[in-house]
Amino acid sequence: MTPLLRLRAVGKRYGAGPDVLTGVNLEIRPGEVLGVVGTNGSGKSTLLRILAGLSAPSAGVVDGSPSVGYVPDRFPAATRMTAVSYLRHLGRIRGGPRAGDLSARAVELLDRLALVGGPGAPIRSLSKGNAQKVALAQALLTEPELLVLDEPWSGLDPAAHRALAELLAESRERGAAVVFTEHRLDHARACATRVSQLVAGSLRPALPPTPGDERAVRIVLRGEGADDWRDEPGVIEVARKAGEVELTVARDQSDAVLLSALRRGWSVFKLDSTADDSTAATGSPSVR
């Protein structure tokens, strides 16, 4: 199957800054859903802007020019327009369906995403999650071949999560490809057909570590720090006991999780491999 988009040895740096991306090779095929994970600042948004054709790579080649629907990491619209007139306006600029069809599609998307205030809600008045719904609706409006979604679940409530999952499944069924970024590896894996990880500017298959897998480590923390661990990149499982929390963590993200734990006020009690309990090390983070 011919890829919609192919990146070959793509690199990106901003001005005289360091390389954000180096040697990224990627093919995106119709019907696939690619999740991109990575720590803050690893270059996920940069990669997505290149995929959306909004940013030129500093090195390498991008082949293919599919029609793209893009949700940016920050939705820029601060307009007096209502949600539906904003979508109609964008649809006309993009030369999509006829005006009547465009309005019907816009209203349908906003209804399905349950925009608070309805299609006539002024964009300026919207909360973060509701603005995100409009951002999603504009990306889906003209049924593009490629959806490029930067943290699409950000700010959405559970009902909107479900609506988005259905909309993405429908896009896939009509042959569109989807690329999204996400911080939670487990969520990315639940939503994607393939998950890749950005590490040191390069894209590689995301580790699918499971407890007992040599690619996972166990970290036991003691203390009373903030413990919303499920959102921490690399955390696979969380178990709590009095005064302790036990995390199963992707090995290659364990340093970042340890740093985060220390910053949150926890102390590291124990760290070991989940594959072989005989290698348990106490008080030492040197498990590599």
Q: Which of 20, 50, 123, 195 binds ligand ATP (CB under 6 A)?
A: 20
Using the rule CB under 6 A, is 44 a contact of ligand ATP? yes
The residues with which 219 forms a beta bridge, in sequence order, are: 247, 271
Of 34-42, 114-122, 188-196, 199-207, the segment contacting ligand ATP by CB under 6 A is: 34-42
Query: What helix, strand, coil percent values describe the chain, rounded to 5?
Result: 30, 30, 40
* Cβ contact 16:177 at 8 Å: no
- The span from the CA of 209 to the CA of 170, in Å, is 29
> Containing H/E element for 26?
strand 19-28
Amino acid at 271: L
**Least distance in angstroms from the C-beta of 6 to ligand ATP:** 21
Considering only residues 55 to 74 of the shown chain, the ones binding ligand ATP according to CB under 6 A are: 73
Using the rule CB under 6 A, is 46 a contact of ligand ATP? yes
Of 38-46, 58-66, 85-93, 242-250, the segment contacting ligand ATP by CB under 6 A is: 38-46
Q: Would you state the structure tokens that stand for residue 80, as one six-digit string?
A: 């007096």
Q: Which of 14, 65, 118, 212 binds ligand ATP (CB under 6 A)?
A: 14
Using the rule CB under 6 A, is 35 a contact of ligand ATP? no
Using the rule CB under 6 A, is 45 a contact of ligand ATP? yes
Cβ-Cβ contacts under 8 Å for 153 (sequence gap 6 or more): 161, 164, 182, 187
Using the rule CB under 6 A, is 274 a contact of ligand ATP? no
Residues that bind ligand ATP (CB under 6 A): 14, 17, 20, 38, 40-46, 73
